[in-house]
Structure 1
Amino acid sequence: MSLQLESTCLEGTVLKGLNIYEGKQDPVAMADEKYPDWLWSILVEPTTKFAEDEKFSKKFIRFQNKEKLKSNSLKFKKLS
């Protein structure tokens, strides 16, 4: 299943502040087709199905803890 989203900036838009190299120019947005398919799935939440009897298993609790750590890490990065 391929979820195709559209970029929020038009092709040719200068992406100010994204340059990480000294003395180089800011990157320019490309057409959506030029980006890899996996890029559009980054923001999609993972869907791991657990049966009712697995809700309190070690595997499920570890999964929940990892997801909370990832979420908190992203929130902290956004605040910094």
Structure 2
Amino acid sequence: MDSLDPLHELESELEKQIRREGVGEYDGHEIAMDLSDGFLYMYSANAETLFKAVKPTLEKSKFMKGAVARLRFGPPEEGIKEIEVKLQE
């Protein structure tokens, strides 16, 4: 990825999907200056339900191939259960 255009398109699709499914909210991104790495932030009362809703959209994006999704089951603190799911390559 050499510009943020594909990311902005993905964000738009994620926002629509999350709103349509009523499964949470999309809260933005954090991207390295050289565009080599980053994070997309989404929140929901149920991490698995949210991930199931957005997974097809994530997998359609070429630059997300092989990305890792971290599902957290509670607030961002020590000892909270988390699982990682690798997207299709």
TM bucket normalised to smaller: under 0.3
Q: TM-score by structure 1 length?
A: 0.24
Q: TM-score by structure 2 length?
A: 0.22
Higher CA-based Rg: 1
* Bigger proportion of residues as strand: 2
